[in-house]
A = this chain, B = another copy of it.
Amino acid sequence: MTTDRAREPLTNPRAERVRRVAALARRAVRTREGAFLVEGPQGVREAVRYRPDLVRDVYVDPDAADRFPEILEDAREAGLFVRPATREVLAAMGDAATSQGVVAICRMLDVPLAEVLAARPRTLAVLAHVRDPGNAGTVLRCADASGADAVVLTAASVDVYNPKVVRSTAGSLFHVPVVVGVPVEEVLRAVHEAGLRTHAADGVGDVVLTDAELTSPHAWVFGNEAWGLEPEVREVCTDVVRVPIHGRAESLNLAMAATVCLYESARSRPAGGPGATRS
């Protein structure tokens, strides 16, 4: 994989290779190439460490090579070649402020819903029609931190490979299995068939969070940031659960509500119990 020619630094920001990387900012190109761009040391570090099998290319400028030696070391151990490039080339590939001189191109990593369900998950996070990249990424990060087994972005949600989503996950995209592209009705049907309860998170839910049944396997279903969950979705779910509002606030935003719900699941989960799908 490593050749002498490949060791030469990329210096031309207008090179075909550089333009192809930059083009991954567009969804149509990502779909065609089956790849996406990871910008910045945090994302690249986690990609190289946890999913080197997915990493096609890593590009660093000289400054970043000095500042993030652990990325180069992990890449070397994984047998990945890190291609040096000038600062101008990195800036042409993506958002210079975000990338801090290091980017990776990764193959798409989403997995089929059936595969996630076959692993007997205890906690899933389903994002139904979540459109804001920052919200989706933040919930994915929280799902990781709270020990959820997988995240499902339904068909009408934001693209998980959108650069802003990738960045907002802070590397968690490479830690948690992700399912994309399945309509919410199908997701709920399959989740129920797999024996999981479904909890629709909704400010008007009739079950308060601390009373929700979270000791058995379950999926949280979170709705759109502006209009929440559609009535048809709420009706299909086992329970509609509300995070208690103690003060005068009207509601919590999506990411905050998801954080409270997912951490409540973590608290209810017997540590290391059966059904754990992540090591």
From A17-25, A213-221, A251-259, give the one contacting chain B. Answer: A251-259
A236 CA / B250 CA spacing, docked (Å)? 35
Q: B259, A144: Cβ atoms under 8 Å?
A: no
A148-B247 in contact (CB<8A): yes
Measured CB to CB, the closest approach of chain B to A222, in angstroms, equals: 14
Interface: A138 (CB within 8 A): yes
Taking a contact as CB atoms under 8 Å apart, the answer to whether B253 and A141 are in contact is yes
Q: How many copies of the shown chain assemble into the complex? A: 2
Chain B's closest residue to A271 (CB) is: B246
User: What's the minimum C-beta distance from A4 to chain B, rounded to whole angstroms?
Assistant: 36
Number of contacting residues on A, CB 8 A? 37
Contacts known (A246-B266, A260-B263, A266-B246); A252 close to B141, Cβ less than 8 A? yes
Residues of B within 8 A of A46 (CB): 248
Does A164 belong to the interface (CB within 8 Å)?
A: no
Q: Among the listed B50, B170, B248, B267, which residue makes an inter-chain contact with A172, where contact means beta carbons less than 8 Å apart?
A: B248
1/0 per position for A218-255, CB-CB distance to B under 8 A?
Answer: 00000000000000000000000001111111111101
Are the C-beta atoms of B175 and A144 separated by less than 8 Å?
no
**Shortest distance from the beta carbon of A105 to any chain B beta carbon, whole Å:** 22
Q: A175's contact among B143, B243, B248, B251, by CB below 8 Å, is which?
A: B248
A187 within 8 A of B: no
Contact B145 A247 (CB under 8 A): yes
A128 within 8 A of B: no
Any chain B CB within 8 A of the CB of A210? Answer: yes
Considering the complex of A and B, which 8 residue pairs feature the smallest CB-CB distances, nearest first?
A147-B246, A145-B249, A175-B248, A144-B247, A144-B249, A256-B259, A259-B259, A147-B247
A-B contact pairs, 19 of them (CB 8 A): A138-B256, A141-B252, A141-B256, A142-B249, A144-B248, A145-B245, A145-B249, A145-B256, A147-B246, A147-B247, A170-B249, A170-B250, A170-B251, A172-B249, A175-B247, A210-B267, A256-B259, A259-B259, A263-B263
